[in-house]
Amino acid sequence: MNSAYDPTPPLSSEYREKNARAARPKDAATLIVIRRRDTPEILMGRRAASHKFMPNKFVFPGGKLDVADQRLRIDASLQPHVLDKLQKHTRKDTSSEKLTGLALAAIRETYEETGLIVGRPTKNNYRSKNASWSKFFAHSVEPALESLELVARAITPTYRVRRFDTRFFMVDDAAHYVNEGSLANASGELEELHWVPVHQAPQLDLPGVTRWIIDQVSERLTLPPQRRATLPAPFVQFSSSGQSQRML
């Protein structure tokens, strides 16, 4: 891809103490939602000033993997090439339920933070003890897993107090946005929710990783779906010796 990942300098409160062990990164997922208009648009919101991680920055919806995401049993499934990429550079005993759960976490977090349902109508009567999934299924929909692409994976640098092993998914099919006309049911975790033309997004106040992801997305949007499916996804992580990048 066309750019390097330049991490955002953390606030002083985000640095771990010099002699403290690096925090173990938590599994997380993000969803880059594309809406086709005369020019492609991307759904973004600003993190509240009270957030301890990247306050006031514009980001995509996303968050930590939940146990409930791994326990869902639904008929929809990820495309095989997406599962293959998720498995690369991951423990061999990582279950397909966990890998699929990462994609489901991205859809759930998008629903929680923006109110947008990335799903398709279904007659199946899905249930979950998780409050967010219960509300999601109340719309008679199921997650549109088959439409998700894996764009990238990045692990927060070791010098930060809070670290995440984040998988970045992308969905580019407006037919699966069940209620795209309303973002009124959002949780409030993201402010100033709106659709931004992809070419204008770099003008916002962005974390380094978000700017890097927008570059990946911009390049993918120039390709037909069949070509995007075969495109490798970059995986960036950091160690005491610096930044390394592999491909998924």
Give domain status of residue 7, yes or no.
Answer: no
Residue 203 has pLDDT above 80, yes or no: yes
Type of residue found at 180: E
In tens, the pLDDT along 135-159 reads: 999 999 999 999 999 999 998 877 7
Give domain status of residue 41, yes or no.
Answer: yes
Give domain status of residue 4, yes or no.
Answer: no
State the average pLDDT over residues 73-88: 92
pLDDT band at 97 (very low <50, low <70, confident <90, very high): very high
Determine the pLDDT at residue 26: 92
pLDDT band at 2 (very low <50, low <70, confident <90, very high): very low
CA distances in angstroms from 17 to 20, 55, 86, 124, 237, listed in the order given: 5, 20, 32, 50, 20
Domains in the chain, number: 1
Helix (H, G, I), strand (E, B) or coil at 49: coil
More confident site: 13 or 33: 33
The C-alpha R_g of the chain, in whole angstroms, comes to: 17
Give domain status of residue 26, yes or no.
Answer: yes
Strands 164-171 and 26-35: parallel
Give domain status of residue 5, yes or no.
Answer: no
Among 3-17, 33-47, 77-91, 120-134, name the one with the lowest average pLDDT: 3-17
Give domain status of residue 37, yes or no.
Answer: yes
Give domain status of residue 163, yes or no.
Answer: yes
Determine the pLDDT at residue 157: 79
Among 21-35, 106-120, 157-171, 181-195, name the one with the lowest average pLDDT: 181-195
Give domain status of residue 2, yes or no.
Answer: no
CATH number at residue 85: 3.90.79.10
Helices (H), 72-174: 80-87, 96-114, 131-137
Residue 202 has pLDDT above 80, yes or no: yes
Determine the pLDDT at residue 192: 77
Structural domain containing residue 42: 12-247
